[in-house]
Amino acid sequence: MSILRNSAIALVAAAALTTAACTADPTTGATTTPQPSGATPQQSLDQSLHDKLPQKIKDAGKIVAVNTGSFPPYTIVGAEGSQMQGATADLADALGQVLGVKIEHTTIDGLASVLSGMQANRYDLDLGPVGDFPERQKQATFVDWVKEYVVFAVEKGNPKKIDGLDTTCGTRIAVQAAGSAEKVIKTQSQKCVSEGKPAIDVQSYKDQPSSILAVQSHRADAFFSSQAPLTYFVQQSNGKLELAGQGKANGFNDLFQGAVVPKDSPLAEVLLEGIKSLHENGTYDSIMKKWGLEKNVLATPGINMGVE
């Protein structure tokens, strides 16, 4: 994904968001915001885990980690060449110290490109967190480290009275393109029509900042997505947004998110053990708390935890 290709558009986006703390480019998802304070604790090398890394990673001395752009507060990608920030970046730093390698970040477009890039050996992993679903497990292996929920971000006061999936008929709902929420909301739209109700105007955007901007600019009535990033956007909206539909299934069962590695890669087990060690020494909890993700803590990380 190229970052800040058009500075004029970026300035328009910043004005539209009308927040002092967060700006975003709707064409790229580049985001800048004051960061939470607190350094991630330094880690000690675990030589046994380093020795279990795939040989090509040990030879290179680095893991090539890919991401699909800003997904705050996990991934915050700034101007091209700037350092990635967020909970995922902090986790990567800590894991790199445990494994004794550098984790190098690169940004591209879409999960499909992530999967094809890993299959072509261009990338070693995507730390995500990416939604873990059985259909995706056919293409890759997931190392889950987040528990997630899917809700709505709406204008303050919730003028359309959206209170869960069943109240969305006839509304305009923004989603991230090719994500699980897009599939769920399109299925709900079909259900609305079958019940004689107005269809949902599903608006698919390439990234989170573009989707939330659609709500703030009154082009969409709500953004349907993961609770963690929506909580972040609501906090940065200067009172202009709120969450809706919390505490409901909203078309999903238990949701797990995590890192993605090539299917059956030996890196999965090494990564899992590394994350477990960060759980045990308190670093994982420290990172999640720093970024306001206490409600998304997964007590026990695991592999391919997603089920139908």
121 & 186 share domain: no
- Strands 102-107 and 62-67 come out as parallel
Report if residue 8 sits inside a domain.
Answer: no
Q: Give the residue numbers spanning the domain of 190.
A: 150-244
**Alpha helices for the chain (secondary structure H):** 7-17, 47-52, 55-60, 87-99, 111-119, 134-137, 180-194, 208-216, 227-235, 267-280, 283-290
Give the per-residue pLDDT at 207: 85
Nearest to 123 by CA among 57, 50, 177: 57
Report if residue 16 sits inside a domain.
Answer: no
Give me the residue label for tokens 């279990």. 52
Report if residue 14 sits inside a domain.
Answer: no
142 & 261 share domain: yes
40 & 117 share domain: yes
Compute the distance between CA of residue 301 and CA of residue 107 in angstroms, rounded to an integer.
Answer: 25
Let me know: does 28 contact 2? Beta carbons within 8 Å.
yes
Q: How many domains does the chain have?
A: 2
Q: Is the dihedral of CA 42, 47, 52, 57 positive or negative?
A: positive
Tokens at residue 82, please? 């700037």
CB atoms within 10 A of CB 41: 14
41 & 139 share domain: yes
- C-alpha angle with apex 105: 99 to 109, nearest 5 degrees? 135
Q: What is the largest CA-CA distance in the chain?
A: 63
167 & 189 share domain: yes
- The residue from 216, 244, 272 where one domain ends is 244
- The residue from 199, 221, 244 where one domain ends is 244
Which residues, 6+ apart, have CB-to-CB distance to 137 below 8 Å? 263, 304, 306
Let me know: does 229 contact 109? Beta carbons within 8 Å.
no
Report if residue 10 sits inside a domain.
Answer: no
Model pTM?
0.77
196 & 117 share domain: no
- Tell me the pLDDT tens digit for each residue of 39-54: 889 999 999 999 999 9
169 & 235 share domain: yes
131 & 155 share domain: no
Domain CATH code at residue 275: 3.40.190.10
Give the per-residue pLDDT at 38: 73
Compute the distance between CA of residue 44 and CA of residue 98 in angstroms, rounded to an integer.
Answer: 6
- Segments of the chain scoring below 70 in pLDDT: 1-35, 37, 79-82
Tokens at residue 242, please? 């709120």
- The residue from 244, 277, 293 where one domain ends is 244
Report if residue 249 sits inside a domain.
Answer: no
231 & 261 share domain: no
Give the per-residue pLDDT at 241: 98
Q: Is 16 helix (H, G, I), strand (E, B) or coil?
A: helix
Give the per-residue pLDDT at 25: 37
133 & 163 share domain: no
Give the per-residue pLDDT at 16: 30
Give the per-residue pLDDT at 21: 31
Give the per-residue pLDDT at 218: 97
Q: Tell me the backbone φ, ψ of residue 66, rounded to 5 degrees.
A: -110, 150
199 & 286 share domain: no
Compute the distance between CA of residue 49 and CA of residue 274 in angstroms, rounded to an integer.
Answer: 7
Give me the residue label for tokens 């915050």. 76
Report if residue 21 sits inside a domain.
Answer: no
Compute the distance between CA of residue 125 and CA of residue 18 in angstroms, rounded to an integer.
Answer: 35
Report if residue 136 sits inside a domain.
Answer: yes
137 & 264 share domain: yes
**Alpha helices for 157-281 (secondary structure H):** 180-194, 208-216, 227-235, 267-280
Which residues, 6+ apart, have CB-to-CB distance to 94 below 8 Å? 40, 41, 43, 278, 283, 287
Report if residue 67 sits inside a domain.
Answer: yes
